[in-house]
A and B are shown apart, each in its own frame.
Chain A
Amino acid sequence: MMLIKMTLWGLVQHPRRTALILFSVAISVFFMEIFAGMGQGIRTNFFQNILAEGGHGQIRGAGWQDQYDPRSLGSALTQTTDLVDLLRSQPELAYAEPLLEYGSVFITPENYTIVLNTIGVQADTRVFPKVTSGMVSGSFLPTANDHGGSGNAGPGNTSDQAVISRALGDFLNLEVGDLIRLITEDFRGAPRSRTFTIGGMFSTDSREFDTSTVFVPLEAARTMVRIPNGATQIRFTLTDRGLAPGFTEHLAAQVQQHDGSIHHWRDLNEGMLMLVDMTDVFIWVFNLIMMIVAATVITNAILMNVFDRMGEFGTLRAIGMRKAKVFGMVLLEGSFLGVLGSLLGVAIGIPVILYFQEHGLDFGEVSESLGMGSMFNFGFSPARSLADFVAGSLTALLGSLYAGILVFRTSIVDALKD
């Protein structure tokens, strides 16, 4: 009882020493927490942003990957309905949707022109959640029941709607309701022009995407480029993304019969995945270095404390305290500080992670250029926090083990000299 009191009282009596050790443990655990949170966030971000938009897999035109211009319509799918039906007949499929993507010249009433990536989509698309949930004025493309449908109206009718971003609208001085014209080449290279009404404006967290994209109804796009039943890709999601490789392998031959090629997300995002894996390795290495630095700092602080009290330990041993007991005191103190410091580190770390999980951290262009959007959310994982807590406590324990061995090895005579 008195020994425990001696140990803990000592901590109170020497607040600066105690604070130093607590601080070094807490700060180390805190940084391990934060970096783990960042790593978790990168992963989550990848699967949320990239996979939500890119799907678990895609069907593209055969030979798409060898094409010089990725937006060329030369390898567009022409048997889209058959392919979508094929996908939908599979039990693993959750959702499939065709897109028709091509470049076109965008002309405003004031005759500003700009080249945009034109995406023909179904009005009820699920591929662009950031867009459909990010409408800031007007609405996304009208579904068939909202309007009379596109293209059915007589000539000169402006019922075909287009959706652009607020940023582009501001830049080109456009408002909802304005008429614009899109000019493109059809699949044979002949120029085609079509008029659209701005039906709505959106805003996502990626400025690059916002200022380079215009959405039009899928049917209008097909009419423009004169590929009925066409698509440049069919994106699909499965009940579980882990099924994707088997799924694509299973369907490869059948898709080929319809002049298509099927790819899963690992294939499609090879570069990104490598980056994510590299980030993981980076964080792992960083945490390792962090641990080593932390262990050094913590051990140092504990050693300082122990050297400071060497005379006291010498006295205790001289008056009859057994070596093992002195060792135990050093260990008790170290592990107490380790547990307390680690708790403190985790306690400070968690709110910070939760804050950045909620509000995100603006990484600006860096992550935007990777297609992740500039806002970057941390990920909180209780298991990670527990691991960091244990790591911090263990480090302090190891440090005090080392200090305890030093005390153990010092002769009483030498200890008493201090």
Chain B
Amino acid sequence: MLDVQNVSKNYTLGKTLIPALRGVSFTLEQGQFVSIMGPSGCGKTTLLNILGCIDQPSDGRVLFRGTDIRNLTDNQRTDTRLDQIGFIFQSFNLVPVLTAAENIELPLVLAKVPKQQRKARVQELVELVGLGDFVKHKPDELSGGQRQRVAIARALVNRPTLIIADEPTANLDSETGEAILQAMARLNRQEGVSFIFSTHNPDILQYATRHIRLKDGLVVEDQLVDQVADSLASQSSSQSIDQNPQGSTP
């Protein structure tokens, strides 16, 4: 569904050219749960931004379901993001003036979904991510873990085919971070959504079904994980998804 062909990205800082990506290629299949690892500055964020259609490669092509995203207009790319792609950010990026429920509802509003359906879908997702009674709270009244759950629900609400998460657990303690990853893994299995996340934390790698390692703007490792690790992930996820992780309880 996502075809990355020899993508490179250069930044210019003054007169110096900084190559952030230097020819990255891989193909992402529907339903994969991909981790992107690599040292700081290796180009993880740059790559995810390009995959998420919020940035353009300097060279190479990205085909999203067969369409070269370079050939789309700004509005078409925006609509692609709205309908097909969900984002989960390191610092959650919720709209501060809206409640948790309204934050989840926002993409539905942008997609002009009728109100009745919106309410039902929001309720569905609130249950799915285990947000409970916190739907009426504003983001600043929620813990980090709860905020990231809201963000996951928002990313999922329009039934995207791909969710992009740039260091989704970096602002969370390790326990909450794992719970978030477990939630993502479960949604990946239940809803068949493809996930691609970057991380520095080796502990959460176990949830991914495919590991891509970047170094200096190049893919240095790309491997599918065997079934053992996969089942391990599913086990632990079913245990702890419904009990609120520490920090999420009021």
Tell me, yes or no, whether A binds B. yes
Please list the residues of chain A having a beta carbon within 8 angstroms of any beta carbon in chain B.
1-3, 6, 9-10, 13, 311-312, 314-323, 325, 411-413, 416
A351 and B16 CA atoms in complex are apart in Å by 62
Q: Is the CB of B55 within 8 A of A319?
A: no
Q: Is the CB of A2 within 8 A of B83?
A: no
A325 and B79 CA atoms in complex are apart in Å by 13
Bitwise, B151-162 to A at CB < 8 A (1) or not (0) is 000110010000
Q: Is the CB of B97 within 8 A of A13?
A: yes
A325 and B110 CA atoms in complex are apart in Å by 10
Task: Judge whether B142 is part of the interface by a CB distance below 8 angstroms.
Answer: no
Q: Is the CB of B97 within 8 A of A9?
A: yes
Task: Judge whether B235 is part of the interface by a CB distance below 8 angstroms.
Answer: no
**Minimal beta-carbon separation of B39 from chain A (angstroms):** 20
Q: Is the CB of A2 within 8 A of B105?
A: yes
Q: Is the CB of B55 within 8 A of A317?
A: no
**Minimal beta-carbon separation of A313 from chain B (angstroms):** 10
Task: Judge whether B107 is part of the interface by a CB distance below 8 angstroms.
Answer: yes
Bitwise, B71-94 to A at CB < 8 A (1) or not (0) is 000110011011100110100011
Q: Is the CB of B107 within 8 A of A320?
A: yes
Task: Judge whether B144 is part of the interface by a CB distance below 8 angstroms.
Answer: no
Task: Judge whether B111 is part of the interface by a CB distance below 8 angstroms.
Answer: yes
**Minimal beta-carbon separation of B20 from chain A (angstroms):** 11
Hey, which chain B residues are within 8 Å of A321, CB to CB?
78, 82, 110
A319 with B102: in contact, given A10-B97, A413-B54, A413-B55 (CB under 8 Å)? no
A312 and B75 CA atoms in complex are apart in Å by 19
Q: B96: which of A2, A3, A312, A319 is its contact (CB, 8 Å)? A: A312
Q: Is the CB of B82 within 8 A of A320?
A: yes
Q: B87: which of A318, A323, A413 is its contact (CB, 8 Å)? A: A318
Of all chain A residues, the one with the shortest Cβ separation from B52 is A318
Q: Is the CB of B83 within 8 A of A320?
A: yes
Hey, which chain B residues are within 8 Å of A318, CB to CB?
52, 54, 81, 87, 93
Bitwise, B54-78 to A at CB < 8 A (1) or not (0) is 1100000000000000000011001
Q: Which of B188-202 contact A (CB under 8 A)?
A: none
A319 and B158 CA atoms in complex are apart in Å by 10
Hey, which chain A residues are within 8 Å of B74, CB to CB?
323
A413 and B97 CA atoms in complex are apart in Å by 22
**Minimal beta-carbon separation of B75 from chain A (angstroms):** 6
Q: Is the CB of A319 within 8 A of B81?
A: yes
Task: Judge whether B49 is part of the interface by a CB distance below 8 angstroms.
Answer: yes
Q: Is the CB of B93 within 8 A of A323?
A: no
**Minimal beta-carbon separation of B79 from chain A (angstroms):** 7
Task: Judge whether B109 is part of the interface by a CB distance below 8 angstroms.
Answer: yes
Extra inter-chain contacts (20) besides given A320-B158, A413-B49, CB under 8 Å: A1-B109, A2-B98, A6-B97, A6-B98, A9-B97, A312-B93, A315-B94, A315-B95, A316-B95, A317-B78, A319-B82, A319-B106, A320-B78, A320-B81, A320-B111, A321-B78, A321-B82, A322-B79, A412-B55, A416-B89
**Minimal beta-carbon separation of A200 from chain B (angstroms):** 73
Hey, which chain A residues are within 8 Å of B89, CB to CB?
315, 416
A38 and B96 CA atoms in complex are apart in Å by 46
Hey, which chain A residues are within 8 Å of B107, CB to CB?
319-320
Hey, which chain B residues are within 8 Å of A322, CB to CB?
75, 78-79
A2 and B97 CA atoms in complex are apart in Å by 11
**Minimal beta-carbon separation of B83 from chain A (angstroms):** 7
Q: Is the CB of A411 within 8 A of B78?
A: no
Bitwise, B130-158 to A at CB < 8 A (1) or not (0) is 00000000000000000000000011001
Of all chain A residues, the one with the shortest Cβ separation from B46 is A413
Interchain residue pairs A-B with the least CB separation, the first 3: A320-B82, A315-B93, A412-B54
Q: Is the CB of B97 within 8 A of A320?
A: no
**Minimal beta-carbon separation of A311 from chain B (angstroms):** 7
Hey, which chain B residues are within 8 Å of A9, CB to CB?
97-98
Q: Is the CB of B52 within 8 A of A2?
A: no
Q: Is the CB of B97 within 8 A of A319?
A: no
A323 with B75: in contact, given A2-B106, A10-B97, A312-B96 (CB under 8 Å)? yes
**Minimal beta-carbon separation of B117 from chain A (angstroms):** 15
Q: Is the CB of B93 within 8 A of A311?
A: yes
Hey, which chain A residues are within 8 Å of B155, CB to CB?
319
